Chain A
Amino acid sequence: MWKVIGERAVSLVVTLLVASVGIYGALFLAPGNPATLLAGGHATPAVLATIERTEHLNEPFFTRYWDWLVGVLHGNLGQSFVYREPVTTLLAGRVGNTVFLVLYAATLIIAGGVVLGLLAALDRRAGAAITVLTSVGLGIPSFVAAIALITVFSVKLGWFPVFGSGTGLLSQLWHLTLPAVALAISWTAYTAQLTKAAVREELGREHVETARSRGISRRHVILRHVLRNAMIPITTVSGLTVAGLIAGDVVVEQAFGINGLGSFLVQSTLQKDFASVQAVSLILVATFVIVNGLVDLWSLVLDPRLRTGRA
């Protein structure tokens, strides 16, 4: 088991390294010279040369990548060209909102998806309604959901704020409810459909028949045999859900005017603020890779057959 965990950890680090090269390199393939940008448009060649030297822009790619990586590992994400401030300072005030929003949405997705899926699989009548509901939900993109939710609950009913992220737990909950719902709708529908299929499949398994033949109560059969085993595919797909949340987060933060990583990424990209874009991209990719790594570990806990390292 420890061998399997070790292998997963090594592959996680390698994935992160490769991703970091990609992120650092991609921006230098983009058109536009950062030195021109820094100089403010009307720069003489001499000024540009000075900037290139002080910002180390003329050094070989891998030297610059290495310096950047060492900095990142020491918690230094670079200096924003636009704000003239360390990127870490700029991110500090924004990370909290995004983490809150993503966790809020993830909770809604997992709780809502699993409960709806389980109901749909166990109860024929509820199942029909939930299937229709989730098919519709699956087709609603988060930006459409965002606009619809703002129109109904913020503008018409006035129950929730139109924009902003609030301060303090209760205010944050209140401000981020609509964004989290917008972010969660299609993923909840997806998780519900997946759960329904997984539970249906487990219900038909022979070992479930055995449990029933032994007089195990229906509640225990569902919890310990059906849902317990269905959690394996559900967990695997949940990892991918997080990827969707990170991408969707960018859209939803823009729509609701939330000052988080997603909206910061959009701003920085528009302003060609290289260091900021790199930093946010790296954080998003690292989150995705690490979450998937954790999901892998959790799968080992759920499925003992994976622990031998053969599967």
Chain B
Amino acid sequence: MNVLEINHLAVELPVEGALRRVLHDVTLSIGPGEAVGLVGESGAGKSMASRAVIRLLPAGAAVHGDIRYSGDSVLAMDRAALRHFRTHDVAMVFQDPRAHINPVRTIGDFLLEALLERGERRDDARAAVIAVLAAVGVSEPERRLRQFPHELSGGLLQRVMIAAALAVSPTLLLADEPTTALDVTTQSDVMVILDARRRERGLAMLFVTHDLELAAAVCDRIAVLYAGFLVEDAPAGDLHRNLRHPYTAGLLASRPDPVAPRPRLAAIPGRPLSAFEVGAGCAFAPRCAFAVERCHLERPELRVLDAGRVACHRAEELAGQLALSPTPGGSE
């Protein structure tokens, strides 16, 4: 059975009294021990999707569709079941550890809190926390427990957050851009540790990022979000060789190439749409170099193609062409 199954997830958030759609249609599953990268631009809805899994959306949010953890509906959980789910089964690593860890309580308070909350003995919890701190490469773990967040560097603090997530021995890890707020020099260290500990413990992971290459490096599968729609879901290894969706191709082409730098970075023409701006057709059609009339009129369904899934009317015809022309010209 899959650890996580998301079926036709749609989310609306209240904005100035009216509900505004931030996620249209996301269908995604994660098997035991599998890592799935959820990739997209800012505003594509990737953070909302990960928060929906743990029911952490703002008050007044309307959630449609179905989210299942090991077969149990997360949306239908009562208070006790939700607490059990959050204290035992799932853990979230947030983007900015400085903001996401209470600044006036010690690292020890932070790490122990979740374990004490589910009734573990303080001594056992302390031993467990010290072990997991050492495992994520935090030196002098016992001294760290007495320190406050402002006494630690950003990279160290993010390791503490990862330790907090691992300490509860979850089955599913949700990582929301865990390295974006860190210095470039510490980003890779933290990512390596997160990746290694996850594989070691066989955790399933939903890894939210805007960095397609990074996601491809640490995940088994990549799911690409655009304007609240899941547009492609493919094995990570397929991404470079076997592109399916023009948007994914555009994202890949927009990355600087450290081996053969181009004089000017390629960019996808136009600006990213917010989910609520999407019209009747394919959300990406206005910016797509390959769009035909049908793309503007009819919304493509997500359908199985080879080892993955893609939401594009022309996926079959374009196979092979996308990788050859990574920087399609403007079409507006």
Residues of chain A having any CB pair with chain B under 8 Å: 205-207, 209-217, 220, 224-225, 228-229, 232, 302-305, 308
Contact = CB atoms under 8 A, between A and B. Distances in A.
A216 B113 contact: yes
Interface string B87-111: 1100110101001111111000000
A303 B104 contact: yes
A228 B105 contact: yes
A206 B99 contact: yes
Contact of A217 (B92, B117, B164): B117
Contact of B114 (A206, A214, A302, A305): A214
A216 B87 CA distance: 8
B92 A224 contact: no
Contact of B54 (A213, A224, A232): A213
Contact of B118 (A206, A212, A215): A215
Given A214-B117, A304-B104, 11 more contacts: A206-B96, A207-B100, A207-B103, A210-B92, A214-B86, A215-B85, A215-B87, A216-B113, A220-B117, A224-B105, A305-B103
Given A206-B96, A214-B164, A304 B114 contact: no
Contacts of A217: 83, 117
A215 B114 contact: yes
Contact of A213 (B86, B88, B99, B117): B86
Interface of B: 54, 56, 82-88, 91-92, 94, 96, 99-105, 113-114, 117-118, 148, 150, 164, 168
A143 B199 CA distance: 71
Contacts of A305: 103-104, 148, 150
Given A207-B100, A304-B150, A215 B105 contact: no
Nearest to A229: B104
A217 B83 CA distance: 8
Contacts of B117: 214-217, 220
A151 to B, nearest CB: 45
Contacts of A303: 104
A100 B148 CA distance: 39
Contacts of A212: 56, 86
14 contacts: A205-B99, A207-B103, A210-B92, A211-B113, A214-B86, A214-B164, A215-B83, A215-B86, A215-B87, A215-B88, A217-B83, A224-B113, A304-B104, A308-B150
Contacts of B100: 206-207, 209-210
Contact of B94 (A210, A225, A229, A308): A210
A209 B59 CA distance: 12
Given A214-B117, A304-B150, A209 B104 contact: no
Contacts of A215: 82-88, 114, 117-118
A206 B96 CA distance: 9
Given A224-B105, A302-B104, A216 B56 contact: no
B212 to A, nearest CB: 26
A214 B87 contact: yes
B49 to A, nearest CB: 15
Contact of B168 (A209, A214, A302, A308): A214
A212 B83 CA distance: 9
Given A212-B56, A215-B85, A217-B83, A228 B104 contact: yes
B85 A213 contact: no
A311 to B, nearest CB: 9
A193 B25 CA distance: 42
B51 to A, nearest CB: 8
Given A214-B91, A215-B84, A305-B148, A229 B102 contact: yes
Contacts of A232: 104
Nearest to A202: B102
